Structure 1
């Protein structure tokens, strides 16, 4: 009977120590990986912000990280959404007349949205960078880091500063 009780307690202990790898830790930024894990995060005004892990799709509001050739320009859009609030997201856009590759870009446009506010870096402002550390078109993987400062477009002159941003995403062509 003692062995059965010990075995039962051991099983409960082992099962309770398992963790779900699909739920990101919201207390730390995700590791800077380069394998298409669909992770992302940043410090937003020095507060940790972690993106939801999800598969690529083109549904409205979805994880539509995509790379395409439109009007003789290569365009890349990286979308990161927060774990518990799909209206809370970071969107980064760049374009290049040459193929996009692993290098540092000035951002074409960046946006941070939460439930009540939208912060934007407009085209032509050099308030942000995107450093692509891996761009693998064969496996549709893009990884890198970013930072930017954006203005509130709701007219109240506030700004948001996003630093230590990182992502490791699968993208859609």
Structure 2
């Protein structure tokens, strides 16, 4: 009693992968880059002995015909470039890269704004420094003029005191005792 079990289908069944336009160009030369699935061997098992190959159990023989295994230019194969492109597209998540690029652009914009603000503040500080230097120069000129005026006034006061001391010595001495001169430090 021999029971035959077919483990594999007898006809070749290609795997067709969905294709997305725009990823990778399909090679147009003689079907290179395509892989077709070879048909598995039909095997029948008998209960009385080992495995036996019965061509009658399948519709095609082991050698098969050339039309069954032809992989040139038909849609029966898998395009490796599309397949790998789809796998890479599925494995690569561009969202973190997009977020980092957006963050980098935002940070660059903020840095440029701060740089412009610093340049404006530097220009303002330079204008204020120039104004302060001009004010300081004016103040120094005014101080020198005041110093000259004070020196002239001091000479006039000394000359008046000397003349008063010569002309009225007794009154000058009593006034000097009554109102002593300030002590210079």
Q: Under a length normalisation based on structure 1, what TM-score does the superposition of the two structures give? A: 0.21
Find the structure with the greater CA-based Rg: 2
Relative CO higher for 1 or 2, CA cutoff 8 Å, sep ≥ 6? 1
Structure with more strand by fraction = 1
Q: Using structure 2 for the length normalisation, give the TM-score.
A: 0.20
Higher helix share: 2
